[in-house]
Amino acid sequence: MAEIEALIKAFSGHGVDEKTVISILGNSQPEHRQAFRKEGGFFAEDERRFERWNDHHVKLLKHEFMRFKNAVVLWAMHPWERDARLIKEALKKGPNSNSVIVEIASTRSSDELLGARKAYHSLFEHSIEEDVASHIHGKEKKLLVALVSAYRYEGPKIKEDVAKSEAKALISAVKNAEKQNPIENDEVVRILSTRSKPHLKSVFKHYKEIAGQHFEDELDVHLILQAAVQCLITPQSYFSRVLDEAMRDGADKNTKKGLTRVLVTRADVDIRAISDDYRNHYAIPLADKIEAKAKGSYKEFLLTLMARGS
């Protein structure tokens, strides 16, 4: 039945197609809703032939209904508050969300990161540095604390001899990875957390010239370190990857949140560069991918944010 298929599709994906839900489900007869319960896959039938919502699907649908609201709420916030709340949520979610902390600490300007720290202090009566240090217990702690504490020089000056020397220090850290994880190496942490982004681009240029390959290509087993380098040097490539992972079939709810987070936080910054990178990497315009994957008001809002960069 076409209406049942349309209703199932309306409930599937990123967000919910509210217009279809209202027009079909709101005007449906009892027998139509019974057919939906039997065919939709959202309900389970017990031994008494009682049809009940599958608890897992209820949780998923709640998240999908909330996507539009969450996107609007985040968009309306001051960027400092937004980043502070995103970091707080990432800390609550645990190690799998540490990349969000890296993302915010490494892609914001010095003043923006300082503003997020001020907002965090006002909202939660703790410092970001304090909470990162107390909530993160693995090898990533040293780097994450250093990144969120950073206030980088943002001018154009670069000392090429220093950049070359620091490239050699990174090469040494990679060569000695069996003795010490590079993410715990004091020189690696110092370079990534204190140097300006133009300086770091020079460091990694020298690294490639000396080592014959890119620094981040040698970090497959150090994903947070890899994310930090990408965010600092090629943020548009990092963000396009986050978007692609968020829109893959079977992505978990936390991964899906990357779609909202990136569109909301980058719409006024570099969404055009991210969109160009996405098309180059995945051979499809980002707007077309969102059109295909997202639903309803959530989709329309994301596309509106994307249009700001056109």
> What sign does the CA torsion over 246, 247, 248, 253 have?
positive
| Residue 140 near residue 224, CB atoms below 8 Å | yes
Task: Please enumerate in sequence order all residues whose Cβ is within 8 A of that of 7, keeping only pairs 6 or more positions apart, or say none.
Answer: 20, 21, 24, 25, 36, 40
> What sign does the CA torsion over 260, 262, 265, 270 have?
negative
- Please indicate if the annotation marks 11 as binding a ligand: yes
| Separation between Cα atoms, residue 75 and residue 123, nearest integer Å | 18
> Nearest-CA neighbor of 251 among 259, 261, 263?
259
| Separation between Cα atoms, residue 86 and residue 67, nearest integer Å | 15
- Please indicate if the annotation marks 64 as binding a ligand: yes
- Please indicate if the annotation marks 13 as binding a ligand: yes
| Separation between Cα atoms, residue 150 and residue 106, nearest integer Å | 9
- Please indicate if the annotation marks 65 as binding a ligand: no
- Please indicate if the annotation marks 36 as binding a ligand: no
What are the binding residues for Ca(2+)? 11, 13, 15, 64, 250
What are the binding residues? 11, 13, 15, 64, 250
